[in-house]
Structures are given as C-alpha cells and as structure tokens.
Structure 1
Amino acid sequence: MPFAGPHPPAPLDGCIVLVVDATTGAGRIVTARLCAAGAAVAVVGAGHPGRGDDAATKAAFLCKELADIDRVALPYRTDIDDLDMVRELPAQIASDLGPVSASVVVIPSGPGTDRLAERFRAASRVIAAALPEGARHIELASDTAAGAGQDEELVRRVVEQLLSGADCPPDALPSAGPPVTAH
C-alpha cells in the first residue's frame, strides 16, 4: 500500500547549498543529489577561459530540469577571475533563497588544469570567507580523467558530510573550519 500521508522531511530540508561549477561532471551530480536530499541549491555556472559554453545558460537549463521534478534550484553565474563578483554570491543567494548553509566548489583537476585549479581555489577561499558563520565549505577535486566512478564516490562523500550536520539553517551545521577537500 502506498504511503498516503505527508512525506517525511528530507534530510536537507531547509538547507541552502551553493554549488560552484555545478553544471557538468561531478558538480552536476552533487547538485542533483543535494536537491534529492531536500536542499535548495544555488546552481553556479562558473565561466572561465577555455570553456566553450555559456555557464549561465547551462545553469538555467539544469535548474529547469530540476524544477520539472519538483526540486528547488536557482541559476547563478560567476566569473572565477572576478573575485569581487565571487565574493557577492553568498549575499545574492541569501537575498533570493535565504542564508547559505553550505557551499561546494568543484576544483578542476587532471592534466593541464593546474592554473585553472588555482583560480578555482582562490575563488573557493573568497566564498568560504563570505559565508555566514557556521556554514560548511567543501572543495571537491574531481579528476575528469579518472571517470564517472570516482566522481560518484566523491559526490557520495560530499553529500554524507553535509548530511552528517543536516540540521539547517547554517547555525545548525557544524563548522568544518578550513575548507574540506574531498579526494
């Protein structure tokens, strides 16, 4: 017999999570999993040199896909080289959705990405400093050369870290101190 009553709250109900580089690869998987766990996700497309796509458009399309399955996600865009723009993300998201409970920044890795990864790490540090007190910050280094299996494992660990302190709003999430890097 199907469950007829109200659905029990999802473990991340009330959490607002900012995910940078959320439109492809591990970032897209993290976004989908967090939404499935009940979080409202700020889907941040990260524009950067060498990327032959429109990050803002990809973020909007992903949010539309998630809305079609009753998930809460809003699209945002930032330029990782414009640290002032990056610094404003948590405040912008707070005005749209509420205080950010956690952030996940996907750091590119693999052959030839050292300089790009350092720029993402700089943006990650700026975001971490701009988060409300008590909000979690996670860096996710995804090796695109390793394939989807490794990304799935990294994503599982990130979601578990957030679920381990899933009482949202941000003052209820235990602070991770310096950024946690999932490898």
Structure 2
Amino acid sequence: MAVNGTAPPRPVSPPAFVPKPTKAAQPKHVNKTRNLTPSLNGALTINIVKGGGQAQQGPKGPPGGDFMSNEDIQKFCEDGRKKARQRAVERSLDAEMLEGRLRNIPDVTGSMSGARARARRVVRWLNRIAQAEKLIAKWYSALYSAFEREYEAELMKIGKGRSQQKPQARFGWR
C-alpha cells in the first residue's frame, strides 16, 4: 500500500510480439491490440478483429487433390493410404477395448454365461469397419500403381534426364 491509502498501479507489460504476415499470404482481417491502464482496474487488453476473424487458409481437401501432376496424384494416394491405415489401427484397438468392456456385463438375470458370445456379436461390426479401412488403404496403393502402369509411357517422355526413343526404321520402307 502506498502512503496515501491507495494501491500502487500495476506495471504494464509490453504487447506480445506478433510477426507480420508476408504480402503473398496477408490475411483479410486486421488485429488491433490496445493496452489501457486505468488506475483502479489494472491492465486491460482489448482485441479488435475486423473482417469476421477468419484468416486465409491453404486449399481445402487432401494434398495433391487438384491432380495437376504425377506428384499430385502420388501425394493424394499416399495421404489417403496413411489416413486409412491409421483409422484401421484405431478401429481395431477400439474393437478390442469394446469387447473387453462388454465381456464383463452380465445378462438380465445376472449370469455371465453368454457375455463373451454377446460381446463378440456386437464387436463383429467394428471389426468389419477396421477391415474395410485396411482395404481402403490397400486400394489407395493399387490406385497409384494402376496410374503408373497405365500412364508409364507418358511419364517416361516427360521424366527428367530421359531421352525420347526414336522409332526404329523398318527395312524396305522409306
């Protein structure tokens, strides 16, 4: 407490450093931060956001979803395969956990005799979902393999450092 009976004012902290975005990806909204230091309430920070508060984001959808090049198609397939694989692992673990929980629930009469069979009948559907996710991952891999197989000739023509093969001259034809 100060001598005159009032509390000393709280020190004002400097505003946090916010890096300015580059001109290429400059958002449409403007953030303004004002620090006010009234003597009774301490520091007060007011954030003013104009333009709805939505920053510009990159393109929506999976990587390579515009299919403009061989690399885009590869990125699309690889991203889908990785996500499906992760979901397959998660669903498989979820199925094991659910089965473990359901095995310990007795029936209406309090008997545990059919609990394991009931749990398996319920979890069977989650196991099928996990199996379907595994197949989706497999099919993404097959998608890119089929693309390479079908468009191999075109890919070889535009590949780096590869010279185009000249057609062989047939004997007797000129």
Q: Normalising by the residue count of structure 1, what TM-score does the alignment of the two structures yield?
A: 0.19
Kindly indicate whether structure 1 or structure 2 has the higher relative contact order, using CA contacts under 8 Å at least 6 residues apart: 1
Structure with higher strand content = 1
Instruction: Give the TM-score, by structure 2 length.
Output: 0.20
